[in-house]
C-alpha cells in the first residue's frame, strides 16, 4: 500500500516489519451542541489540534467501574496534566484511612506496591495532603470531578480525552478574531462534543524518522512481537522522555527523528537527521513580558536572565487607588497624575480632577458620614502637589479613577537589576539592544510590561558538526523526537550559551501564567463602596 501523510509518500510492502510506538490523536471532529444540550447537536466540523482558543473540560457523567478501568482509559503521567481527579458516591474504607463519599481523589501515578499494581492517590483535608494507594482491583463507581482549569485543544487531545470515550468542552476564550474560514459559528460560546481521529506512530527498519499511519488505512497486519527482536529498531524519545533521565546520563548524543516547526532560531536548525549533543537538563528562570499596546493581539516573550540589553523605565497606568497602594514601594515615592475625574460622595474625602498630581503615601482608615451614620473605611493618604506647596488628601480605596506614573528615574537597568530592585509588573523600553544576537526582537517593541518571573524546564544542546554555540530549548513547549546514539561524550564541553528570547503564542502565554500562579493565593479584592 502506498499512502500520503503530510505531503510525503510512504510505502508499506508485503512482509514489511513495523514497530508501533504509540497512538496519537491526529484531529478532532467537533459536534456543536444546540443550546448547550448535549443530546442535540446541529453540525459537525473538523478541528486541527492547533485550532486557537482555550476550553474548559465538562466532567463526564458516566462513571468508571474500577480503578483498573481508569488506568486503562485515562492518561496518568508525571506532568501537571497527568493527575486526574475522581470521587466515589460511597465511602472507601482503607486500613488507615476512610475516603469519604464525594471527596476529591487525585491520582498521581501507577506503580507496583508489594507485588500488586496500584495507583498512588491523595486527598486534601484542612489544607493537609494525605497520601494512600488503591489497588487496580478496587471496584465501585468513580466519577470525574469538575475541572476549573482551561486547556488548549492540543492539551485536551493529549491528556483529557479518555480512550473509547468522547469529551465535551466549553469554549472559555476564543483568543482570535472570527473570520469566514473559522469552522465554528460567529460569536459561538457553547459546548462541543469532541470525537478523536487517531493515527498510529511507528518506526520502520530502514527509516530514521517516525512514520504516521492513519488509523483508517486499509492494511492487514499480523502481531509478531513475541517472535521478533524489537531491539533492532530505533527508540524515539520525546524531550519529556529525555528530561526524565537521570543527571548522570548527560551529556548524550542524539539524532533528531522529528524536528519542531517554526523559523525562529534555533528551531530552524533542528531538522530531521541532524545530530546534536544534549549537555544537561535543568530549571531556568525567565521573565514573562508582554508588548504594551492598547489594541490586541499583544506579543508575548520569555526573556532569559542572560539577556544583555538595557532598559529604561516607562510609566505605569493604574485604574484604581487600590492599585496605587499595591504598586508603592519603600525604594521611592510613587508620583502619579490623574487621567480621570472622580467626585467623592463624602465631604471628608478628596474629589479628583484630571491633571491633579499626587505623591502616594500609605493606606489608613478614615471616618466618613454615610446616610447620617458614621462609618470607618479604608483610604489612601496622598500629598497633592500644588504650585508651591503640598496638601494632604485622602482618596477612597474603592475609587475607580485613572492614574499614570510620572518617571523621574533616567537610569538604564539590566534585567537582573529590575527583578532585584522593583516589584513586578513593571513597564520598560529597550534603551540599548542586545548586541550579542543578530536581531533583538525586543528592541522593536514600543514598550514592554515585565509581568512575572517564572521557572521552567530546559535542555542545553549544541550541534555535533559545528559546536560553536549552545542553546536552551524548552522541554514542554517544543514538539521534537530524537533517538540516542552510542557515541563517547565524556570529553564534550558545552560551548558558550546563546541568548534566545522566546516568543510565545497567546495560548502558551495563558498556560504559562496559569501554571505559575496556580499555587499562589489571589490578591485581595479592592474594597467596595460602603453600604
Domains of the chain: 1-59+147-234 (no CATH), 66-145 (2.30.30), 236-314+407-519 (no CATH), 319-398 (2.30.30)
Which residue is associated with the grid cell 515585565? 450
Contacts of 305 (CB under 8 A, 6+ apart): 284, 285, 286, 287, 415, 416, 419
Lowest mean pLDDT across 221-225, 281-285, 292-296, 335-339: 292-296
Of 174-178, 400-404, 445-449, 521-525, give the range with the top mean pLDDT.
Answer: 445-449
Rounded to whole angstroms, the Cα distance separating 351 from 384 reads 11
Question: What distance in Å separates the CA atoms of residue 52 and residue 154, rounded to the nearest whole number?
Answer: 10
User: What number is the average pLDDT over the span 350-359?
Assistant: 92
* pLDDT tens digit sequence for 461-512: 999 887 788 999 999 888 899 999 987 776 678 888 887 899 998 878 887 8
Q: What is the pLDDT of residue 67?
A: 95
* Average pLDDT estimate for 439-453: 92
**Comparison of pLDDT for 331 and 384, the residue scoring more:** 384
User: What is the C-alpha separation between 80 and 69, in angstroms, rounded?
Assistant: 21
pLDDT band at 518 (very low <50, low <70, confident <90, very high): very low
Better-scored residue on pLDDT, 178 or 392: 392
Query: What is the band of 522 on the pLDDT scale with cuts at 50, 70, 90?
Result: very low
- Is the per-residue pLDDT at 521 higher than 70? no
Cβ neighbour number for residue 25 with a 10 Å cutoff: 19
d(CA 474, CA 420): 24
pLDDT tens digits, one per residue of 221-231: 888 888 887 77
Among the ranges given (181-185, 306-310, 465-469), the one the predictor scored with the smallest mean pLDDT: 181-185
CB 259 within 8 A of CB 269: no
pLDDT in tens, 38-84: 555 567 888 888 887 888 999 999 999 999 999 999 999 877 788 99
Percent with pLDDT over 70 in the chain: 90
What pLDDT does 369 receive? 79
Longest dimension (CA), the chain: 94
Q: Tell me, what's the pLDDT at 423?
A: 83
- Do residues 236 and 207 make contact, with C-beta atoms less than 8 angstroms apart? no
Asked whether residue 428 carries a pLDDT value surpassing 60, the answer given is yes
- Separation of alpha carbons 299 and 503, rounded Å: 7
Q: Which pLDDT score, from 0 to 100, does residue 355 have? A: 93
Is residue 529 classed as helix, strand or coil in its secondary structure?
Answer: coil
Q: If you average pLDDT over every residue of the chain, what do you get?
A: 84
Question: In whole angstroms, how far apart are CA 427 and each of 94, 231, 274, 290, 416?
Answer: 54, 55, 40, 10, 15
Query: Which residues touch 470 (CB under 8 Å, ≥6 apart)?
Result: 279, 460, 461, 462, 494, 495, 496, 497, 498
Residue 360's DSSP bridge partners are 382
pTM of the model: 0.68
Going by DSSP bridges, is the β-strand pair 300-304/317-320 parallel, antiparallel, or unpaired? Answer: unpaired
> Above 90 in pLDDT, residue 309?
yes
Nine cell digits for residue 339:
487621567
Please tell me the predicted confidence (pLDDT) of residue 531.
53
Of the candidates 426, 444, 428, 23, the residue with the CA atom closest to the CA atom of residue 197: 23
Residue 81: all three cell numbers together? 496534566
Q: Of the given ranges (9-23, 245-259, 342-356, 363-377), which has the lowest mean pLDDT?
A: 9-23
- Report pLDDT for 174: 57
Label residue 179 left, alpha or beta by phi (over 0 means left) and psi (-120 to 50 means alpha): beta
Amino acid at each position: 500500500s502506498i499512502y500520503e501523510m503530510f505531503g510525503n509518500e510512504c510505502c508499506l510492502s508485503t512482509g514489511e516489519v513495523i514497530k508501533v510506538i504509540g497512538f496519537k490523536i491526529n484531529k478532532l471532529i467537533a459536534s456543536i451542541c444546540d443550546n448547550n444540550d448535549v443530546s442535540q447537536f446541529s453540525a459537525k466540523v473538523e478541528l486541527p489540534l492547533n485550532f486557537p482558543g482555550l476550553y474548559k473540560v465538562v466532567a463526564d457523567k458516566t462513571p468508571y467501574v474500577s480503578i483498573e478501568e481508569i488506568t486503562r482509559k485515562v492518561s496518568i503521567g508525571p506532568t501537571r496534566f497527568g493527575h486526574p481527579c475522581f470521587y466515589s458516591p460511597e465511602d472507601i474504607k482503607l486500613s488507615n484511612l476512610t475516603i469519604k463519599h464525594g471527596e476529591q481523589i487525585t491520582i498521581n501515578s501507577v506503580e507496583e506496591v508489594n507485588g500488586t499494581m496500584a495507583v498512588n492517590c491523595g486527598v486534601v483535608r484542612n489544607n493537609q495532603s494525605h497520601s494512600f494507594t488503591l489497588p487496580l482491583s478496587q471496584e465501585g463507581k468513580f466519577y470525574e470531578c469538575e475541572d476549573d482549569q482551561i486547556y488548549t485543544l492540543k492539551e485536551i487531545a493529549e491528556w483529557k480525552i479518555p480512550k473509547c470515550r468522547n469529551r465535551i468542552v466549553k469554549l472559555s476564550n476564543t483568543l482570535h478574531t472570527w473570520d469566514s474560514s473559522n469552522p465554528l459559528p460567529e460569536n459561538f460560546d457553547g459546548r462541543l462534543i469532541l470525537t478523536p481521529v487517531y493515527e498510529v506512530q511507528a518506526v520502520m527498519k530502514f527509516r530514521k524518522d517516525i512514520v504516521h499511519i492513519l488509523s483508517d488505512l486499509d492494511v492487514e497486519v499480523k502481531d509478531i512481537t513475541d517472535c521478533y527482536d524489537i531491539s533492532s529498531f530505533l527508540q524515539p524519545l520525546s524531550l519529556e522522555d529525555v528530561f526524565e533521565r537521570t543527571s548522570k546520563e548527560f551529556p548524550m548524543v542524539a539524532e533528531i527523528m522529528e524536528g519542531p516547526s517554526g523559523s525562529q532560531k534555533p528551531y530552524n536548525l533542528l531538522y530531521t537527521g541532524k545530530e546534536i549533543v544534549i549537555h544537561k537538563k535543568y530549571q531556568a528562570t525567565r521573565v514573562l513580558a508582554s508588548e504594551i499596546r492598547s489594541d490586541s493581539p499583544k506579543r508575548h516573550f520569555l526573556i532569559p536572565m542572560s539577556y544583555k540589553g538595557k532598559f529604561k523605565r516607562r510609566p505605569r497606568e493604574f485604574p484604581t487607588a487600590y492599585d496605587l497602594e499595591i504598586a508603592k514601594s519603600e525604594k521611592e515615592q510613587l508620583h502619579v497624575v490623574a487621567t480621570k475625574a472622580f467626585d467623592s460622595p463624602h465631604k471628608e474625602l478628596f474629589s479628583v480632577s484630571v491633571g491633579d498630581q499626587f505623591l502616594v503615601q500609605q493606606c489608613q482608615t478614615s471616618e466618613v458620614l454615610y446616610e447620617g451614620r458614621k462609618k470607618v473605611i479604608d483610604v489612601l493618604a496622598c500629598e497633592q502637589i500644588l504650585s508651591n506647596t503640598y496638601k494632604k488628601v485622602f482618596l477612597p480605596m474603592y475609587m475607580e479613577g485613572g492614574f499614570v506614573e510620572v518617571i523621574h528615574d533616567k537610569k538604564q537597568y539590566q534585567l537582573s537589576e529590575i527583578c532585584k530592585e522593583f516589584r513586578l509588573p513593571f513597564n520598560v523600553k529597550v534603551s540599548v539592544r542586545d548586541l550579542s544576537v543578530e536581531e533583538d526582537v525586543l528592541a522593536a517593541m514600543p514598550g514592554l510590561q515585565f509581568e512575572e518571573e517564572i521557572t521552567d524546564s530546559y535542555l542545553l544542546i549544541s550541534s555535533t558538526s559545528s559546536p560553536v554555540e549552545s542553546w536552551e530549548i524548552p522541554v514542554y513547549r517544543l514538539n521534537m523526537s530524537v533517538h540516542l546514539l552510542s557515541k563517547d561524550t565524556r570529553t564534550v564541553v558545552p560551548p558558550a550559551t546563546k541568548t534566545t528570547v522566546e516568543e510565545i503564542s497567546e495560548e502558551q502565554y495563558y498556560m504559562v501564567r496559569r501554571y505559575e500562579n496556580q499555587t499562589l493565593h489571589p490578591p485581595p479584592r479592592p474594597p467596595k463602596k460602603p453600604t
